Structure 1
């Protein structure tokens, strides 16, 4: 994958620090930087896997002499947004060694990332934050969350609609990407916040099952739900973990745009022998599983965590790129310290047909907010009213918050089922 690549010209960060593209010769230094920053030990197999997924043109390192002291990168992505999708920079492998904090390195790397995203025509950037306090100052806001659901094993399956007729099939992971990707794409059409997957991402990440990445669990298995005509309508990836008094099944991914296929897959996990608990991570916060039971406590939410942090890089393109749920005409006073082109007063208009646009205006603002709050609300997962209650949005015209809230609404909560 390295053939024909050239380095960016070296740019001075501060005194002896330099920033440049990742190269084939950086393997050991790259791994050492990630392991120190994330408090982990990356095996050779894991490093090879990630090495094949990284985009060399979008991955950079910062060097102090010959030592890598910071890293960052981005995957070119297509992120589902209400009514469609937009190009997005999937920010990844962001590290700064503790010996080199407070030297402006992360600020410089983010500036480079924003420049590259602009050149690639990406109006959005998204990331999963290892530390929540880092990215707000760069204009990222928490736009999606994920839940961990738990239910007992060895009990009757949840009810499903009458007339549903599905068969279940266990399949090998190898080569399953083309079968599963259409289901993933249908879910992307139902929910905002879901990145598209390339063939390489399916084979090298989703369906990769390295033993040293299972954290002590058994191998990953794939079960597919097929309808009466034999067409795949849902799938789940899962693995078993030894536990006392009985095995725990960990559902890594359950994707079923057909609700009856989804119920069938949950029923599968409820009926596996010798299982004491089923634990599903990365679920949407409005997952309907709880309401499939007469006893709402049969499935419970064990945890909710922040998922995708979203950054609006090009405000007009982001507004035009999503569908709006109601007509709208108001003015936003936007603060953006990192990208001044986004800052100022913008007239936000949405038609009854869902088309949106924004343009600079001299009209008095109805709402005042920073770009991080706008990123949090953009996918419809965080209400502007909630952000105003938290002091992140100021309502200058009575009723403006409610109008924006209605226009941003989506039938289902946005969802980001995987990190990167």
Structure 2
């Protein structure tokens, strides 16, 4: 273990530390190392959102924070995404990252963000910090020749920079209807709208001048193949007509491309408008959530309208002491109030609260997994309170 007096954690100091952080990340994520690592991406994220750990004054590990929001129950809840988590190989299995995560969570709690999310490359270190699987991200891959070509009732037009506000409004409405989609920050929107591969294509689907959907994509030839794929960075259809029109739009590429690839929901509405189950899952990953501030997180999200209920929780958190104790969650007309006290009839670790909060696993399923304890009737009521669409994200980070 790295002894406490040799470890210092703070924001990077100067470009040399940024380059050291980037080089560690390139090694960790199997990216081609460079004698002069490009630090522009880290600089865009903001030095204030980066942390490095130094051992003996030398950068040994780092991580990034992405302040944004996440949609639950029709409400955007402040959330800090975690990215670029990496440790130099000679410092792995020394406890450095566990200490970085603990300090980071204390910072996030103090700053007032009740949630944190990440995509794990390995789960044990994040579970020790209180994260747990809480939702899905997946890509569908569908052959273009198997798509329907007939529905052309709506107009499709190329979008320009002047349409950015329209695109963002369409996405926000789709995100509001989901569980787990991001409330994208400016940094996250730049990842969608600014070309990473040229050319980036943007199209809107309109009815009499009113937009009902859009797609942002590139055409890319996968290594070792002769045909191109349409790779969607973002795809939104708010109506069935818009979905059918987008399917026809993609089908019109069947003579020049092989597949359509897009990130969608686990129960994907676009698949209602394709003739057969010709798709395959091209990428599947579970993201993890951390309830950083239990009462604030419970009070911030939305809940099903028409549900009047009171849950008595007893939460255990080995990392963030303020979360420990009994909490009463009173839900009415889609909103909630949280107060200390109650009977604590539903007992759970903060890790178990994460998938219950998102609806990824029901309280009864979590009891079967050993994460939650409580009477069947109370757990069934909790399942109603946290019910919603299967949680998913359209973004990686």
TM-score using structure 1 length: 0.84
Q: How does 1:14-413 map to 2 (within 5 A)?
A: 14-25=4-15, 26-41=17-32, 47-157=38-148, 165-171=153-159, 177-203=164-190, 205-211=191-197, 219-228=199-208, 230-242=209-221, 244=225, 246-275=227-256, 277-295=258-276, 297-307=277-287, 309-325=288-304, 326-351=307-332, 353-361=333-341, 363=343, 365-394=344-373, 396-410=374-388, 412-413=389-390
Q: Deviations over 1:56-113 (max 9, x none)?
A: 2231111223431111221221222213112111212221222112333222212221
Instruction: Give yes or no for contact 2:247–2:274 (8 Å, CA) kept in 1.
Output: no
Structure 2 gap segments, 5+ residues each: none
Q: Deviations over 1:131-158 (max 9, x none)?
A: 2333112111222202322222134527
* Superposed displacement of residue 287, structure 1: 0.7
Instruction: Give yes or no for contact 1:169–1:225 (8 Å, CA) kept in 2.
Output: yes
Taking a change above 3 Å as real, the CA distance of residues 227 and 362 of structure 1, as seen in their structure-2 partners, is closer
Instruction: Give yes or no for contact 1:58–1:116 (8 Å, CA) kept in 2.
Output: no
After superposition, the CA RMSD in angstroms is: 2.7
Taking a change above 3 Å as real, the CA distance of residues 34 and 125 of structure 1, as seen in their structure-2 partners, is same
Instruction: Give yes or no for contact 2:312–2:327 (8 Å, CA) kept in 1.
Output: yes
Alignment partner of 2:381: what SS? helix
Number of residues paired by the alignment?
Answer: 391
Q: Distance in 1 between matches of 2:13 and 2:238?
A: 40
Q: Distance in 2 between matches of 1:177 and 1:13?
A: 50
Does residue 416 (structure 1) correspond to residue 393 (structure 2)? The answer is: yes
Structure 1 gap segments, 5+ residues each: 1-11, 212-217
* Superposed displacement of residue 274, structure 1: 2.4
* Superposed displacement of residue 32, structure 1: 1.1
Instruction: Give yes or no for contact 1:152–1:270 (8 Å, CA) kept in 2.
Output: no
Alignment partner of 2:184: what SS? coil
* Superposed displacement of residue 285, structure 1: 0.5
Q: Distance in 1 between matches of 2:112 and 2:3?
A: 25
Instruction: Give yes or no for contact 2:216–2:235 (8 Å, CA) kept in 1.
Output: yes
Instruction: Give yes or no for contact 1:147–1:283 (8 Å, CA) kept in 2.
Output: yes
Alignment partner of 1:135: what SS? helix
* Superposed displacement of residue 245, structure 1: 5.8
Taking a change above 3 Å as real, the CA distance of residues 63 and 182 of structure 1, as seen in their structure-2 partners, is same
Taking a change above 3 Å as real, the CA distance of residues 32 and 275 of structure 1, as seen in their structure-2 partners, is same
* Superposed displacement of residue 321, structure 1: 0.9
Taking a change above 3 Å as real, the CA distance of residues 107 and 300 of structure 1, as seen in their structure-2 partners, is closer
Instruction: Give yes or no for contact 2:149–2:249 (8 Å, CA) kept in 1.
Output: no
